[in-house]
Amino acid sequence: MRTRARSFLAIGGTATLLALSACGAGGAEGGDSASGTIQWWTWDEKQAVSWGKCVEPFEEANPDIDVEVKQYAWEDYWTKLTAGFVAGSAPDTFMNHTSNYPEFVDQGQLLALDDMIDGSGYDISQIGVGVDTWKYSDGGTYGLPKDWATVGFFYDKAKLTDAGLTEDDVQNMTWNPEDGGSFEHIVARLTVDENGVRGDEPGFDKDNVATYGINSLGSNGINGQDTWANFASTTGWKLGDKDSFPTTFNYADERYVQTAEYLRGLAERGLSPEEGEFTLGAAEQLGSGSVAMVSGGSWYATTFFALDAIDVGIAPSVANENGERAGLSNSNADSIWAGTQHPDAAFKWISYMGSPECQDVAGVDGTFFPSIDQSMEKTKAALLDQGIDITPYTQQFVDGTLFETPVFVGGQEMGSAISPLMEAYFTGEREEDVFAEMDELSREILAE
């Protein structure tokens, strides 16, 4: 067995030179296309460790290839990646996101994988989710889907009991923008002011709340993945006017406007914190007792269940009054930089990550949900052994109630333009007129 130094780097601003240096970067090193040292980047610290477990068996099976794993925080990841494109020192392979890959394709920064898939005999049919999402408008495939995710609720079981609620109550929450449905009742009941008065009782003091029923469900970017998307979608609303490559985002649609008004109203009534009131993340809010229930992604499951002295439960996204859910899902993928000097070696690595041999091993940590069905079953079983039942997430996949955000060009520009306006609405700095402005901005950006 060969012994090699592993590179698992949680990198801050001081590592910029390392990230952009020629040493080890795909475009800076010559040699055989099917051998050499290749890099793989991710933005997720925990996934860097999980997927890193695949490096040693891969290298043993491919003695002419070395793999270096590097991780950068989300805030820095895309900036460093783009800088690497410009400098000719980007990583050979990297974890990619649907909001950014179309722009990278248009810039000529990604390799189409179709010839490699056909030539290698890689069985792409084993991937159960995301394949169509990663096929661009030119017909090319620009990523091998590695995972899937969706959003539900994490809650404190003790606070649920104290409020006189049951787990069935939260497992079957219904919602509508007029009166909030059973979701409204549960959130109000879970909210407690500093005098011990609950949010649904006379004398509740909305200005002095000890425990909020739900975390802030405001801004959260252009598609509201962690917060409002699963509410708005139950009304029949869709973000884009088309499922792929839309011409506009439907922010001015009355169904979205009503959803946003309702969710902002939760804070105005003291049932959720004001936008920006807490600097702590959702897990820390639940762990501190500041909130009784939080909206959270499936990728956070192990984080929430690691909270001390709290018995945590998971509930699925809300349903409409007809019992219909519509949860936003997403599938990240591994892409190959067009400037790599080792395209064949790079494909061997990402196709290995897209195999049961790797996903069976990496997935049991629960830091992601594997894209391969048989590996997903192993992940589910491994988490259940730890006392984490992810059925509220996986059942939505089985039931076909998940949908993916549309693929569109200009993700970074869209985020920079729309996110501040979204935040301004949920902080009360702007009113309903902001949605028409957001709609028009999206139309202009998508037309470019």
Mean pLDDT to the nearest integer, 111-134: 96
The pLDDT tens digits for 201-236 are: 999 999 999 999 999 999 888 999 899 999 999 999
Q: How many CA atoms lie within 13 A of 334 on its CB side?
A: 26
Cα distances (Å, whole numbers) of residue 353 to 144, 236, 393: 9, 36, 23
The pLDDT tens digits for 318-333 are: 999 999 999 999 999 9
Maximal CA-CA distance, the chain: 75
- Counting residues of the chain whose pLDDT is more than 90, the rounded percentage is 87
The pLDDT tens digits for 381-436 are: 999 999 999 999 999 989 999 998 889 988 889 999 999 999 999 999 999 999 99
Indicate the range of 12-16, 27-31, 170-174, 402-406 predicted with least confidence.
Answer: 12-16
- Token digits for 251? 């922010």
Concatenate the DSSP letters of all residues of 291-343 into one string. BSEEEEEGGGHHHHHT-TT--EEEEPPPB-TTS-B-EEEE--EEEEBTT-S-H
Distance linking the first and last C-alpha atoms of the chain: 53
Find the helix or strand (DSSP H, E) in which 210 lies. strand 209-211
The pLDDT tens digits for 231-271 are: 999 999 999 999 889 999 999 999 999 999 999 999 999 99
CATH match of 149-329+404-447 with 3.40.50.300: no
Mean pLDDT to the nearest integer, 17-26: 35
The pLDDT score that the predictor gives to residue 29 is 45
Q: Are 379 and 369 in contact (CB under 8 A)?
A: yes
Centre a 10 Å sphere on the Cβ of residue 86 and count the other Cβ atoms it contains. 11
Centre a 10 Å sphere on the Cβ of residue 90 and count the other Cβ atoms it contains. 28
C-alpha to C-alpha distance for 43 and 297, rounded to whole angstroms: 16
C-alpha to C-alpha distance for 102 and 79, rounded to whole angstroms: 16
- Pick from 366, 375, 298: which is nearest to 330 by CA? 298
Cα distances (Å, whole numbers) of residue 257 to 161, 179, 180, 238, 337: 34, 15, 15, 12, 40
Second CATH level (architecture) for the domain 10-146+333-371:
3-Layer(aba) Sandwich (3.40)
Find the helix or strand (DSSP H, E) in which 149 lies. strand 147-156
C-alpha to C-alpha distance for 369 and 371, rounded to whole angstroms: 7
C-alpha to C-alpha distance for 227 and 275, rounded to whole angstroms: 12
Q: Do domains 10-146+333-371 and 149-329+404-447 have the same CATH topology?
A: yes
Coil, strand, or helix at residue 430? coil
Centre a 10 Å sphere on the Cβ of residue 296 and count the other Cβ atoms it contains. 23
> Which pLDDT band, with edges at 50, 70 and 90, does 11 fall under?
very low
- Whether the per-residue pLDDT at 178 is higher than 80: the answer is yes
C-alpha to C-alpha distance for 169 and 245, rounded to whole angstroms: 38
Q: Where are the beta strands (DSSP E) in 355-423?
A: 369-370, 402-404
C-alpha to C-alpha distance for 388 and 76, rounded to whole angstroms: 31
Q: Are 255 and 235 in contact (CB under 8 A)?
A: yes
Find the helix or strand (DSSP H, E) in which 444 lies. helix 434-447
- Token digits for 375? 């590996």
Burial bucket for residue 415 (CB in 10 Å: 0-12, 13-18, 19+):
middle
The pLDDT tens digits for 285-295 are: 999 999 999 99
The amino acid at residue 95 is M
- Whether the per-residue pLDDT at 42 is higher than 60: the answer is yes
**Residue position matching structure tokens 């949900």:** 369
Domain spans of the chain, in order of start: 10-146+333-371, 149-329+404-447
Burial bucket for residue 61 (CB in 10 Å: 0-12, 13-18, 19+):
exposed
Q: Are 2 and 59 in contact (CB under 8 A)?
A: yes
The pLDDT tens digits for 306-321 are: 999 899 999 999 999 9
